[in-house]
Structure 1
């Protein structure tokens, strides 16, 4: 299992940030590896149970996961993505600050079967992606939510 934890602040209102990030299709704007992400179930504002099909490039290979919005609360979003090799949980929590919103991004990747053996070798790559998200997610939020 690989776990990533990052926190950063954006200068936008909490409800706007949560509404923007609740649509997982926006992951193409803030996740460095995501190439495509298409909603597959649910209409209107994303609610618990809404699903997306995600295509990412990871270490030169295309990886596809089906994500589901498991939790949507005022201060929290939890997405769970699955395929035969792994389960990926992206848990985002939000706190208002004097200047905007503090985002805490926690990612947990659990490998299944023989893929578990690669866990120690992939940790460094996931850490690098976590570092990138501290820049790409705030940039995407600021671009999508002008003042």
Structure 2
């Protein structure tokens, strides 16, 4: 079962600045409400780059290895994996007036014992999505 959380925000920051900032997943510590640390472990920031991401979720510390799978003119796809979950994140950035519109879609697939409680996590993931959207807008508007 896949749980999807999607949010769209508008920001005063221009798209040409926003996509490179978000594509460098190390910056998730600034804009993602759950991320505690994120370090690049290999690659140059392009497709194939790997990141070690540590997040706090539902009172637990969660570590995923993310890989940049696509990097286009208006989007980045980054996929995080560990033994219990896969997070398939698509970030799309489009010009909007003098700023930009950012859509962040995260699709979570849980495995093992976690899959049994996956549906119970949906409200927590939705709340995290709300917090992240607000934080993302604030951080981008200040850039």
Contact 1:20/1:141, CA 8 A, preserved across alignment: no
Task: Give the structure-2-normalised TM-score.
Answer: 0.95
In the aligned structure 2, how far is the partner of 1:110 from the partner of 1:123? 11
Task: Give the structure-1-normalised TM-score.
Answer: 0.93
CA deviation after TM superposition for structure 1 residue 122, in Å: 0.2
* Structure 2 gaps, min length 5: none
In the aligned structure 2, how far is the partner of 1:26 from the partner of 1:136? 12
* Structure 1 gaps, min length 5: none
CA deviation after TM superposition for structure 1 residue 114, in Å: 2.2
Equivalent residue of 1:96, what SS? strand
Q: Which residue number in structure 1 is paired with residue 115 of structure 2?
A: 116
Does residue 1:38 correspond to 2:39, yes or no?
yes
In the aligned structure 1, how far is the partner of 2:50 from the partner of 2:3? 23
Which contiguous aligned blocks of 4+ residues in structure 1 show a shift greater than 4 angstroms? none
In the aligned structure 1, how far is the partner of 2:34 from the partner of 2:101? 23
